Amino acid sequence: MDQDKGLASILIVDDDRDIRTLLATFLQSHGFAVTTARDGVEMQRQLEQRPHNLAILDLMLPGQDGLDLCRVLRQRSSMPVIMLTARADETDRIVGLEIGADDYVTKPFNPRELLARIRAVLRRTGAGPVVAGGTAPTRNYRFDGWTLSLDRRELTDPAGVMVDLSTGEFDLLLAFLEAPNRVLTREQLLEAARSQPDAVFDRAIDVQVSRLRKKIEPDETSHPMIRTVRGAGYLFVPKVTRA
């Protein structure tokens, strides 16, 4: 399939023809350019022919499996990767995240869930294209004088000083900024931090939130930005604007 100008291009690598066809048709109907491959050899051929914004790799493939192909991609580029697997073993998911996968989806899955994950990964990594002559996607979030830049993956305080964030802290802050004044459960925040291998443990979210608070709330008692909602999760209080 030819890459359409101005559309985010998705490469699907799966040896199941029905799944390749289903996903290609579904993603094309939602505005993506899609190419497909049944194994690592075809994947390499597609990558040589055109650039892609994101790869979806099945774990169980003939020849090199999805983990092998993810390693190959990580050695050559920073293109985001979403892994697909029919296995319920959490070990595979952890290994996939450790070698550089950006997200992990277990079969069977709802195509709309995969679509949401694709959009989230593209948004988080800034890997999607900007359409010429069109409206540029949100690249900055502002709150209480602070600015989070998606292009540079940087946070600056009201005085213009850059505040260092870990990848996990950046992803959590982005999740809050995308849903201000809405309670987010630990499970939802876990999804936002899935790129972090240690984030598969639920209590790690509490630790990450605590670290984030210390960086954006010098005095938590007088001006809390992240409020704990007992028994429910966390809520981001400030008004958020996008630009």
Ramachandran area for residue 18 (φ above 0: left; ψ -120 to 50: alpha; else beta): alpha
pLDDT in tens, 64-78: 988 899 988 888 888
- For residue 236, give the nearest of 165, 217, 222, 219 by alpha carbon: 217
pLDDT at 131: 37
Contacts of 213 (CB under 8 A, 6+ apart): 220, 225, 226
pLDDT in tens, 9-60: 999 999 999 999 999 999 998 888 999 999 999 999 999 888 899 999 999 8
d(CA 240, CA 242): 7
Class of 140-242 in CATH: mainly alpha
pLDDT in tens, 180-223: 898 988 877 876 665 444 444 456 688 888 989 999 987 655 67
Structural domain 9-125, CATH architecture: 3-Layer(aba) Sandwich (3.40)
Could you tell me the residue ranges of all domains in the chain? 9-125, 140-242
More confident residue, 195 or 87: 87
pTM of the prediction? Answer: 0.55
